[in-house]
Amino acid sequence: MPLTPLHGLAVLFLYFKDKSRIDPLALLASATFVDLEPLYYFLIGETLDHRIWHGFALALTIYPVLIGLTVYFVERLFENKLWSAYNALRLKPDQVKYSLLGIYLCCLVGGFSHVFFDMFTHESMPYVIYPLVLGNPFYLGQASIIVEATVVALAIYSVFCWSKTQKLD
């Protein structure tokens, strides 16, 4: 199962390919925050499980709207802090305030990618393509190591893309 930070890093290379249109905050938030769901269930004493938010029905509808609006307001309310954070991380942004449509599209990509990677590696994802099917027909079992390796490779590629921007100084 891909670790939560790897979900964000696996898609971050998109930001380095087009900084003017790809919002790193929207991409990272949407690719990682969906894992607050299993954490919630764990904290209330239930099984650590991927439920309704780990399905395409919500990941492609309500989730990107909620995360997108949050990112939109955060970018407007904390613009100076974001500049500082991005500069500290040496992301070298062109901007920190993106359009609502751009944020929404990045949230779609982040939410989709998270569910897409998880659907192959988690047997207990009953809502992947709910209401069409209850259960996870995509689980690969032992072969899920291929997806995990792909996520790690994409994360390493994102770090490589970031390191290339550091050499331009």
**32 lies in some domain:** yes
Of the candidates 102, 136, 143, 130, the residue with the CA atom closest to the CA atom of residue 20: 102
Full pLDDT tens readout for the chain, 169 residues: 567 888 999 999 999 999 999 999 999 999 999 999 988 888 898 876 788 999 999 999 999 999 999 999 999 999 999 999 999 999 989 999 999 999 999 999 999 999 999 999 999 899 999 989 999 999 999 999 999 999 999 999 999 999 999 876 5
DSSP for residue 85: H
DSSP for residue 54: G
Angle between helix 24-32 and 100-121 (nearest 10): 30
Q: Residue 82: give the domain boundaries.
A: 4-164
**157 lies in some domain:** yes
Residue 26 near residue 67, CB atoms below 8 Å: yes
Q: Would you mind telling me the total number of residues written for the chain in this entry? A: 169
User: How many other C-beta atoms can be found within 10 angstroms of the C-beta atom of residue 117?
Assistant: 23
For the entire predicted model, the pTM comes to: 0.92
Residue with tokens 């696996």: 10
Residue 67 near residue 96, CB atoms below 8 Å: no
**169 lies in some domain:** no
What is the number of domains present in the chain? Answer: 1
